[in-house]
Amino acid sequence: MFYTNRRIKHCLADIQFNQFMHSCTDMSTLQIYKVFDMLDVDGSGKIDFDEFYLLACILISLKDKEEKQFIYRHSRTVFELLDEDGSQSISAGEFSAFGFLFNFHGDAVNQIFKDFDISGDQELDYKEFKMFAMACIDRQNDIDRRKREKAERRRRHQEEKMKRKEQKKLRQTEGLRRLSWDFLALSCVII
């Protein structure tokens, strides 16, 4: 995948990057080129191995539905990637442009800014972004806890349902046995 020549080593050109992203994501071509521009931090027009490695980590976190954990654990790196203009803050526009990469869409971006823009300047500085990252983890943990509880309730419900079925079969079997013993006793009396 990474070609090597004497001047440019271990990098992907935009066309190779586009093909790779189309093969492993459902991103549009526009989104892919936005990601390419975001990751090409040195402005070389190529994605070198370090930049590709970061992309691979992001894609794995998305696949595993751990993107919020990724944001939290790599908050400085993510902040710098999202801070397109290098202003040491992320505007709603910057966040909207790349939020899709971390599964933030539409109203979620506006809500994030409403909740975490403490200074009221319509931008998130690193401290505000870090609070956002921690809140993401809290929310994700809460969602995960609710899913586990729901799965546990569903499991218990299934167990109770199976138990009731078994008890019903047992009662039917006992009823048939009693009926057959009664029939046998009646047969003996008649003979």
Residue 47 counted as domain residue: yes
Label residue 1 by pLDDT band (50, 70, 90).
Answer: low
Asked whether the beta carbons of 112 and 132 are under 8 A apart, the reply is yes
Domain harbouring 13, CATH code:
1.10.238.10
pLDDT tens sequence across 100-115: 777 776 677 777 777 8
Residue 181 counted as domain residue: no
Residue 184 counted as domain residue: no
Residue 185 counted as domain residue: no
- Domain extent at residue 42: 3-152
pLDDT of residue 51: 85
**Count of domains in the chain?**
1
Element (H, E) at 131: helix 126-190
Measured distance CA(83)–CA(26) in Å, rounded: 24
Residue 171 counted as domain residue: no
pLDDT tens sequence across 43-79: 888 888 888 888 899 889 888 888 878 888 888 888 8
Asked whether the beta carbons of 80 and 39 are under 8 A apart, the reply is no
Q: In terms of pTM, does the model score above 0.95?
A: no
- In the predicted structure, residue 87 carries a pLDDT above the cut 60: yes
Measured distance CA(173)–CA(180) in Å, rounded: 10
Give the mean pLDDT of 152-181.
80
Residue 66 counted as domain residue: yes
- In the predicted structure, residue 158 carries a pLDDT above the cut 90: yes
**Between the CA of residue 141 and those of 6, 69, 146, 166, what are the distances in Å?**
48, 10, 9, 37
